[in-house]
Amino acid sequence: MPFEPSPAASEDLDREPAKLRIRSVLGSQFPLQVIQANGLPEVSLTMFGTEMLTMLSSSSAYTYLRETVLFAKWAGEDGVATAHQWRVLGEPREVRNLVREYLTKVGQCRIARRSDTLGIRVSYINTTNGTRINVRLLLAALKRLYEILIDRGLYPFSHPLINGDAVRAIAELRRGQRDTIREVFGRAPMPESSGVDPPPAELRLSANYFRLVKREWEPQPIDDPTFPGRIYDAGRAHGWGLREMCIARTLLESGARISEVCDLTAADWAVSVFRNQFSASNKGSFGQRVKVLQISNPTAKLYRRYFDECRPTTAGERMTVAGLGRLHRKDSQQLAGIRIFLTARNTSMTARLFRDHYWKPALTAAGIEADPHTCRHWFVTNALRHIEEIAASEADLARHKQELIEYMAWRSGERTMNAYEHVQRGRSFALRMQAIHREMEKREHQTSQEVAPGGKVSRSASSPSINHELAFLLGEEHDD
């Protein structure tokens, strides 16, 4: 039900934040609503969810709103927060205290206050092994929340997560850089992309009060050839049907994200005339089909069986693959509204539903620790292994890697590939180390058998058995 926001209505967030819940309302002016215990919308958070839908995909907007609601609910339940009367919509100092307490207590983070590059005192956040929240996502969501509330007149203070001193210092630095260019060249600075002016110094300038200590993203490679079979066995034991098998096989064979697979439509399948390829969205593409997923022919047969035999009927009439073909020739636009994977209630299968009610129970019962995204890592790890095995030259290797980057539609392709290769090289060397350790053990055994008089090791007895790798590791590569 539409409503007009007002500053007074936002006070509900500070009164009973622990009673909040998110509700999706299709066709409403406010599709994502945050509902209070009395059944009425909480204005500030509902407005936030609505604004996020104009900036992000629906799934990302929901994620941002969920993190914010969890934070608000915690603020109403935490003993320290209530004792100090810290409010989510309170003064900036209150909000910063809430964020600090939440990160420390719930996030299990370590926070240190120190000066940044510009000499501004800020809080640096270090995650620990006990951290179970997405700190980067939380900070981004809260920062956007207060930006929107300030813009809408629902938060009467300055932005609580932006340091005003840092903003002024950064502006002064940028002004100084522009003045320098004018003084030296007699003109305004050119855009960085032009390459005319020298690149600015690599300073990490930020106006945020809370800054997550940057950690290099590291993929989790999985090189277990039995992994797919174990997944399928776990699924069969748990009662998976053709629908779940098709989804799981697509994850492993295409390297797609679970959200991309559950989002597939008949129009996506039609690009291969309902064979083994699909057009698909990508992270950040806002639903636009920007890449292609490819599966094996046996899996494509399972898709056709699922569609012909198991997919729920619509209005009492089963849609078959042959029917899709006729509809494709007659009115292909209608295919976009036909989701491939449906629930028993004829609603669209979602990533969360598959993960929570099919994937997790099956793998937990089988004693397997893996989430659907692990399949993506397994795919890339094995694709890299295959590329290295078939490449005939360095040029061939580079070309195949570029093809993989384009297939995966990585926005930062080279960086992502380098991350995977870094881990893969480490694992390869670990395998080489096994052979090296065997050689070390053999050498140790030989030297224990041949000790010179006086307890000194006879070098002539041990040196010939040292191969080049072992000599390098032991620092004996240049011994005569």
Residues 6+ positions from 252 with CB-CB distance below 8 Å: 227, 228, 231, 375, 378, 379
The partner residues of 23 in beta bridges, in order of sequence, read 33
Q: Based on the domain organization, do 210 and 108 belong to the same domain?
A: yes
Q: What are phi and psi of 338, to 5 degrees?
A: -105, 105
The answer to whether 326 and 190 are in contact (CB under 8 A) is no
From the DSSP assignment, how many helices (H) and strands (E) are in the chain? 20, 7
Element (H, E) at 370: none
Element (H, E) at 236: helix 227-238
Q: Based on the domain organization, do 99 and 161 belong to the same domain?
A: yes
Residues comprising the chain, all counted = 480
How far apart CA 121 and CA 460 sit, in angstroms, is 63
Q: What are phi and psi of 19, to 5 degrees?
A: -100, 15
Q: Based on the domain organization, do 205 and 294 belong to the same domain?
A: no
Q: Based on the domain organization, do 206 and 78 belong to the same domain?
A: yes
Domain presence at residue 428: no
Q: According to the model, what pLDDT value does residue 449 have?
A: 54
Q: How far is CA 43 from the centre of its chain?
A: 30
Concatenated DSSP letters for 199-217? PPP------BSEEEPP---
Last residue of a domain, one of 349, 380, 411: 380
Domain presence at residue 124: yes
**Number of structural domains the chain divides into:** 2
Concatenated DSSP letters for 251-276? HHHH---HHHHHT-BHHHHGGGTSSS
Domain presence at residue 44: yes
Q: According to the model, what pLDDT value does residue 199 have?
A: 63
Q: According to the model, what pLDDT value does residue 215 have?
A: 62
Q: How many CA atoms lie within 13 A of 118 on its CB side?
A: 20
Q: How far apart are the first and last CA of the chain?
A: 87
Concatenated DSSP letters for 16-59? -GGG-EEEE-TTSSSSEEEE-TTSPBPHHHHHHHHHHHTTS-HH
Q: Based on the domain organization, do 29 and 113 belong to the same domain?
A: yes
Strand 121-126, strand 210-212: pairing:
parallel
Q: Based on the domain organization, do 272 and 320 belong to the same domain?
A: yes
Q: What are phi and psi of 71, to 5 degrees?
A: -65, -45
Last residue of a domain, one of 322, 355, 380: 380
How far apart CA 165 and CA 170 sit, in angstroms, is 9
Q: Based on the domain organization, do 82 and 21 belong to the same domain?
A: yes
pLDDT < 50 positions in the chain: 1-11, 15, 217, 422-434, 436-437, 440, 443-444, 447-448, 451-480
Q: According to the model, what pLDDT value does residue 126 have?
A: 92
Helix 58-77 crosses helix 43-53 at what angle (to 10 degrees)? 160
Q: According to the model, what pLDDT value does residue 189 have?
A: 81
Look-up: residue for tokens 């993506």?
376
How far apart CA 264 and CA 269 sit, in angstroms, is 8
How far apart CA 70 and CA 20 sit, in angstroms, is 9
Q: Based on the domain organization, do 88 and 18 belong to the same domain?
A: yes
Q: What are phi and psi of 472, to 5 degrees?
A: -65, -45
Q: Based on the domain organization, do 265 and 373 belong to the same domain?
A: yes
Q: According to the model, what pLDDT value does residue 442 have?
A: 60
Q: According to the model, what pLDDT value does residue 70 have?
A: 94
Q: Based on the domain organization, do 66 and 158 belong to the same domain?
A: yes
Q: According to the model, what pLDDT value does residue 316 have?
A: 62
Give this prediction's pTM: 0.55
Q: Based on the domain organization, do 203 and 301 belong to the same domain?
A: no
Domain presence at residue 233: yes
Domain presence at residue 418: no
Q: What is the CATH classification number for the domain harbouring 297?
A: 1.10.443.10
Residues 6+ positions from 46 with CB-CB distance below 8 Å: 30, 32, 33, 34
How far apart CA 190 and CA 169 sit, in angstroms, is 22
Closest listed residue to residue 280, CA positions, set 357, 376, 359, 413: 376
Last residue of a domain, one of 148, 181, 215: 215
Domain presence at residue 403: no
CA-atom Rg of the chain in angstroms: 29
Element (H, E) at 277: strand 277-281
Residues 6+ positions from 53 with CB-CB distance below 8 Å: 31, 32, 61
Q: Based on the domain organization, do 268 and 356 belong to the same domain?
A: yes
Domain presence at residue 35: yes
Q: Which domain holds residue 368?
A: 227-380
Q: According to the model, what pLDDT value does residue 68 have?
A: 95
How far apart CA 5 and CA 46 sit, in angstroms, is 10
Domain presence at residue 446: no
